[in-house]
Amino acid sequence: MNHLISRLLDWLKPADNTPAEIRRAKQLISAIDAGGIPLDPAIIVRIAEDLGLEVSKKAQMKDTIERIRAAVARY
């Protein structure tokens, strides 16, 4: 029984050891690069804050996305 649970937990783990915030930021960047337009600025701000970036309420979304790109590149 323990072996089965262990196998299930291994199966549910992400394929890589990348932190969740970085994976989410990479997904955002990939979607934007594929032509997607983020519709909810709050999601962009939350992703940036999860990466440890401070985002001003006056910041433009495109500037915040560029900062997210830079943070992902540093990782």
- At 17-47, the pLDDT tens digits run 788 999 999 999 999 999 988 888 999 999 9
Residue 9 lies in a domain: no
pTM of the model: 0.76
Residue 8 lies in a domain: no
pLDDT of residue 9: 77
The total number of structural domains in the chain stands at 1
pLDDT band at 14 (very low <50, low <70, confident <90, very high): low
Residue 10 lies in a domain: no
More confident residue, 56 or 15: 56
Query: Helix (H, G, I), strand (E, B), or coil: what is residue 57?
Result: coil
Residue 50 lies in a domain: yes
Query: Helix (H, G, I), strand (E, B), or coil: what is residue 44?
Result: helix
- Which has the closest alpha carbon to 65: 53, 74, 75? 53
Instruction: Give the single-character DSSP code of 34.
Output: T
State the residue range of the domain holding 55. Answer: 18-74
